[in-house]
Amino acid sequence: MDALDALLNRKSVPRLMEPGPDEQQLEILFKAALRAPDHAALRPWQFIVFEGESRAELGDIFADALAAREPGTSEAALEKAKGKALRAPVVIAVIAKVSEHPKVPAIEQKLSAGAAAQNILIAAHAMGLAGIWRTGAACFDPYVRKKLGAVNEDEIVAFLYIGTSNGTPPLPELEISDYVSRWEHFSGPEN
Ligand SMILES: Cc1cc2nc3c(=O)[nH]c(=O)nc-3n(C[C@H](O)[C@H](O)[C@H](O)COP(=O)(O)O)c2cc1C
């Protein structure tokens, strides 16, 4: 697929079917991720792949975290949390591994991890796959963070759900002029 086609037509797909990315496609997804802009070449990224049975373990982590966060959560809600990791053939946790750097604040390292996540979504789309970026309370949960190896300033920036789309969702129609202005015509709100 043409690069602009991929950029202009990617659409998130919430319900994803088999097949997921095969080994070769996974490698391409991560090669794309590792091309994310990266100030001072800190490589502030870690990716964890959950596929097949290991998705159930991620589901257990989600459910255990919810139970600890909200004691008294119903069995039905815990089962629902468990099932979340099964919404796609492959789930990729994207973690910003943040380190101290005199010129690269934490926000830049987290943005770099976000760019890596977006590269994965675009590359998946370009290969005929589909995906969606999800976060939710699990991303910020201390138990989930611990289980996934996020420490100190690290951030779980995404759970990327990747698989095959079961249809082509419509693209939203957005007006560029609602979001873009040239400085000489700038008419933003006054402070
Ligand atoms: C940082 C981030 C976190 C998100 N978390 C969720 C989420 O937890 N659940 C969800 O349904 N969508 C989430 N979204 C939105 C979807 O990924 C997606 O962007 C949205 O459904 C719009 O679809 P589009 O990407 O095709 O425009 C998140 C997006 C971003 C950038």
Instruction: Give the pLDDT of the chain (191 residues) as one tens digit per residue.
Output: 899 999 999 999 998 999 999 999 999 999 999 999 999 999 999 999 999 999 999 999 999 999 999 999 999 999 999 999 999 999 999 999 999 999 999 999 999 999 999 999 999 999 999 999 999 999 999 999 999 999 999 999 999 999 999 887 889 999 999 999 999 866 677 76
pLDDT of residue 191: 63
Q: Which residues does ligand 1 sit against, CB inside 6 Å?
A: 11-12, 132-136
147 CA to centre of ligand 1 in angstroms: 23
| End-to-end Cα distance, the chain | 45
- Closest-CA residue, ligand 1 atom 24, reads 12
At 19, list the tokens: 């097949």
CA of 132 to the centre of ligand 1 (A): 6
Kindly give the residue spans of alpha helices, DSSP state H, lying in the chain.
3-9, 23-33, 54-69, 75-83, 106-126, 137-140, 142-147
Classify residue 43 as exposed, middle or buried by CB count within 10 Å of its CB (0-12, 13-18, 19+).
Answer: middle
Phi-psi region of 25 (alpha: psi -120 to 50; beta: other; left: phi over 0): alpha
Buried/exposed 162-173: b ≥16 CB within 10 Å, e otherwise: bbbbeeeeeeee
CA distance 130 to 132: 7
Q: What is the CATH number of domain 12-51+86-166?
A: 3.40.109.10
Provide the residue ranges of all domains of the chain, joining segments of one domain with +: 12-51+86-166
What confidence score (pLDDT) does residue 144 get? 98
